[in-house]
Chains A and B, each alone.
Chain A
Amino acid sequence: MAPETPELSGGLSEGLDLYGRPPWSRVAKGYLGWGLCGLALLLVVAPLASVLWGVIGRALPVWHWSVLTEPTTATGGGLSDEILGTLEIVVGVGILAGLVGVLSGIYLAEYAKGRFGSFLRGASEILAGIPSIVLGYVAYIALGIGLHWDFSLASALIALSALTVPYIAKATESALRSVPTTYREGADALGMAPMRSLSRITMKAALPGITTGLLVALAISVGETAPLLYTVGEYTSYGPTVHLTHMSVSYLTWVVYAYNQGTFPQALSYDAAFILMVIVLLLIIGSRLIVSMTQRNTERN
């Protein structure tokens, strides 16, 4: 970022009165500006607080703990299938996208140099910019129709992984790059083999950053609906399944999306929204804790 010289023309001292006070117009501009900033803060906080309250205020009055343990029925029941399905998806994405993302992040940080590296980074950036619904739709065309997987867990995992791998790779790369060079040089000087120094020294130091990236990716895949519509389908009254293909899986975001479609009682949609927010909150607090814990550790060292 090229620092630009602030424009100081206009002779700030010119406008001062006899006592060295600035003219009221400059003072008023300051009040006006900060007033607008305060208004902006209000305009941001009010609707966002309303979103939080809208979910909590609707879910709490209808909340039963049985929501967590009972499957959905025509008249009510709970969300146990949807919660399990969401967990299944999240764990699957964690494994698939985690593996691919971390390994490609390692390559980008340790080996990729020059043109090939920036080619890989550019492609991954473009992939991150492709709307999630398009990824879901392509997975549906290529895997659901093309490979006859129908609605399937596998195509959902692939679509969500395509969505999250760029983030994980980027987080891994920047975490590895921010490991102090002295660590690597120390390991080299002690005669450590490259792989050992990577796995024992560099990766250990980069682990908090990588974990944060993973948690962010998991939060994304918990909250996504668009790539799942076409891949795991909409809702199934069969319980969660371990079949990778030909079987739909229920998931939480669909219950919220279908709040007025008559498939579910509306109370369940509110509950699902509430559970989603709790999961996301836990993931974010988890990543914050990791960051603050490691900061404390490095300070102590």
Chain B
Amino acid sequence: MAITTPDELPPLPTGPPPLVLEGASGNSFRNFSQEKLPRLVTGFIATVPVIALVAVLVVLFWKAYPAIRYNGFGFLTRTTWRPGNAYANAVKTGGVLHPVAVSYGALPLVAGTLETSAIALILAVPVSVGTALAVVEKLPRRVSNAAGLFLEVIAGVPSVVFGLWGVLTFGPFLAHHISPFVADHMPDVPVLDFFRGNVGYGEGLLASGMVLAIMIVPIVAATTRDLLRTVPRLPKEGALALGMNDWEVVWKVSLPWVRSGIIGAAVLGLARALGETIAVAMVSGTILGQVPPNLYEGMSTIAATIAQQLDGALSDGTGFEVRTLAEFALVLVAITLLTNLGARRLVSKAAAATALPVGRGV
């Protein structure tokens, strides 16, 4: 049998056309529509928050610039709130149009903002951590789930509802049952006399701080609860085996384990307290141009003032009050950003990642 040469081989059977995978390179339209276009479109959209942020800062600065120039550095140390004479002709100082005898100072509002937030934080953090410990370690699972739902619902309650409750229920309760007792029993010595004074009718620094505390408790408590549930079982059991009782386990193992996370939660709460507007506007008593001399006096915060002075600002024909409010907004943004930066230094990344966006309510 002769050996067949290649020429004589029968043709190979032709199979189905080679498989072309979808999206495989080579088809340029497919490549464009599947790879580049989505990337371009979503990438473009993803820059929107950046643009918004830049726009916010630019608009604020542009609007506030004349006010910054007129108010000067003294703005931060003055305590005045004098919208000036709206009926006299406006005057120009250094190219800035403003009403006669106008004078604004930021000190009372900055003090009010920081003091209410400090009260809120001092009251809310220990109470929230205690609650989270009780919920995670002591309550049965079912009750602790119910408590979780309760906290979530409360975190979603609109701040205006907290404000209403503060004015109608909590403020009067404070003024009738708690403040008089504290005010009467505090010794009249330098620092402590801040706690003395006319307790008023329940609108003021203490009421605002406490309403803020109640508003940030769900944030801090829910985050701390989630964190405590992430503490691994092994170190806790080890501590028990060494002879610690359950409180010592919590105090020496669980809490140190989640400490940075708790700091992060507290900073989230602080951010909410600093920027809270409506609830404070309703319970602050709205005294402008005075650093609160005692714990019960009416005051206001930057955010609440921006919200409340709209009508006044619109009636200032020179637009100077609108500009000054923009300057206040810049001060508030600066305070918030500094807090954020401080928080980042304090908190490691892993601890800051919580399941829900708990920053602003809900």
Residues in chain A within 8 A of chain B (CB atoms): 1-4, 6-8, 12-13, 16, 22, 26-27, 29-31, 33-34, 36-41, 43-45, 47-48, 50-52, 54-55, 58, 99-100, 103-104, 106-108, 110-112, 119-120, 123-135, 137-138, 141-142, 145-146, 162-163, 165-167, 169-171, 191-196, 198, 213, 216, 219-220, 222-226, 229-230, 253, 256-257, 259-260, 269, 273, 276-277, 280-281, 283-284, 288
- Interface with A: B4-12, B70-78, B80-88, B122-130, which one? B122-130
List, in ascending order, chain A residues with CB within 8 A of B239's CB.
6, 8
Is B277 within 8 A of A131, CB to CB? yes
Is A130 within 8 A of B56, CB to CB? yes
List, in ascending order, chain B residues with CB within 8 A of A13's CB.
243
List, in ascending order, chain B residues with CB within 8 A of A22's CB.
243, 245
List, in ascending order, chain A residues with CB within 8 A of B244's CB.
12
Alpha-carbon separation in the docked complex, A34 to B250 (Å): 10
Give the residue among B33, B149, B157, B221 with the most A Cβ atoms within 10 A: B157
Is A230 within 8 A of B310, CB to CB? yes
Report if B317 contacts A (CB, 8 A). Answer: no
Give the residue among A29, A51, A165 with the most B Cβ atoms within 10 A: A51
List, in ascending order, chain B residues with CB within 8 A of A277's CB.
157-158, 161
Alpha-carbon separation in the docked complex, A40 to B213 (Å): 13
| A-B contacts, 25 listed (Cβ < 8 Å) | A12-B243, A30-B248, A33-B251, A37-B130, A40-B128, A41-B131, A41-B134, A44-B128, A54-B169, A58-B168, A107-B43, A128-B359, A129-B359, A133-B307, A134-B60, A137-B306, A138-B60, A141-B326, A194-B34, A196-B22, A196-B23, A225-B160, A226-B307, A273-B158, A273-B161
Q: Please, how many residues of chain B have a CB less than 8 angstroms from a CB on the other chain?
A: 108
Alpha-carbon separation in the docked complex, A269 to B274 (Å): 26
- Interface with A: B45-53, B98-106, B289-297, which one? B45-53
Top 8 A-B residue pairs of the complex, sorted by shortest distance between their CB atoms: A40-B130, A131-B275, A223-B158, A193-B23, A30-B247, A107-B42, A104-B46, A191-B21
List, in ascending order, chain B residues with CB within 8 A of A162's CB.
49, 52, 56
Is A120 within 8 A of B49, CB to CB? yes
**Cβ-defined partner of A229 (8 Å) among B128, B258, B310:** B310
Alpha-carbon separation in the docked complex, A131 to B23 (Å): 45
Nearest B residue (CB) for A173: B46
Is B221 within 8 A of A129, CB to CB? no
Is B49 within 8 A of A166, CB to CB? yes
Give the residue among B45, B60, B138, B260 with the most A Cβ atoms within 10 A: B45
- Interface with A: B179-187, B190-198, B330-338, which one? B330-338
Q: Report the minimum CB–CB distance from B86 to chain A (whole Å).
A: 19
**Cβ-defined partner of B256 (8 Å) among A6, A37, A198:** A6
List, in ascending order, chain B residues with CB within 8 A of A230's CB.
310
Is B126 within 8 A of A40, CB to CB? yes
Q: Report the minimum CB–CB distance from B36 to chain A (whole Å).
A: 10
Is B242 within 8 A of A8, CB to CB? yes
Is A216 within 8 A of B307, CB to CB? no
**Cβ-defined partner of B253 (8 Å) among A1, A6, A16, A229:** A6
**Interface residue ranges of B238-291 to A (CB < 8 Å):** 239, 242-248, 250-253, 256-261, 271, 274-278, 281-282
Is A4 within 8 A of B256, CB to CB? yes
Give the residue among A99, A170, A191, A269 with the most B Cβ atoms within 10 A: A191
Residues in chain B within 8 A of chain A (CB atoms): 21-24, 30, 33-35, 38-39, 41-43, 45-50, 52-53, 55-56, 59-60, 63, 126-131, 133-135, 138, 149-150, 152-154, 156-165, 167-170, 214, 217-218, 221, 235, 239, 242-248, 250-253, 256-261, 271, 274-278, 281-282, 303, 306-307, 310, 322, 325-326, 329, 332-333, 336-337, 340, 348, 350-351, 356-357, 359-362
Is A37 within 8 A of B131, CB to CB? yes
List, in ascending order, chain A residues with CB within 8 A of B325's CB.
137
Is A51 within 8 A of B153, CB to CB? no
Give the residue among B128, B242, B258, B307 with the most A Cβ atoms within 10 A: B307
Is A103 within 8 A of B21, CB to CB? no
Is B156 within 8 A of A256, CB to CB? no
List, in ascending order, chain A residues with CB within 8 A of B130's CB.
36-37, 39-41
Q: Report the minimum CB–CB distance from B35 to chain A (whole Å).
A: 6
Is A129 within 8 A of B340, CB to CB? yes
Is A138 within 8 A of B245, CB to CB? no
Given A30-B248, A257-B282: 6 more A-B contacts, CB < 8 Å: A40-B130, A51-B214, A138-B56, A162-B52, A256-B161, A277-B158
Is A12 within 8 A of B242, CB to CB? yes
Given contacts A30-B247, A192-B23, A257-B282, contact A100 B159 (CB under 8 A): no
Q: Report the minimum CB–CB distance from A195 to chain B (whole Å).
A: 5
Is B214 within 8 A of A48, CB to CB? yes
Is A269 within 8 A of B275, CB to CB? no
**Cβ-defined partner of B59 (8 Å) among A39, A132, A138, A225:** A138
Is B351 within 8 A of A1, CB to CB? yes
Is A219 within 8 A of B362, CB to CB? yes
Is B214 within 8 A of A100, CB to CB? no
List, in ascending order, chain A residues with CB within 8 A of B170's CB.
47, 50
Alpha-carbon separation in the docked complex, A26 to B164 (Å): 45
Is B24 within 8 A of A191, CB to CB? yes
Is B357 within 8 A of A123, CB to CB? no
Is A40 within 8 A of B134, CB to CB? yes
Given contacts A1-B348, A40-B134, A167-B357, contact A257 B55 (CB under 8 A): no
List, in ascending order, chain B residues with CB within 8 A of A30's CB.
245-248
Q: Report the minimum CB–CB distance from A49 to chain B (whole Å).
A: 9
Is B310 within 8 A of A253, CB to CB? no
**Cβ-defined partner of B164 (8 Å) among A7, A55, A213:** A55
List, in ascending order, chain A residues with CB within 8 A of B129's CB.
40
Q: Report the minimum CB–CB distance from B351 to chain A (whole Å).
A: 5
**Cβ-defined partner of A104 (8 Å) among B49, B53, B150, B258:** B49
Is A4 within 8 A of B278, CB to CB? no
Is B133 within 8 A of A37, CB to CB? yes
Is B158 within 8 A of A276, CB to CB? yes
Q: Report the minimum CB–CB distance from B110 to chain A (whole Å).
A: 14
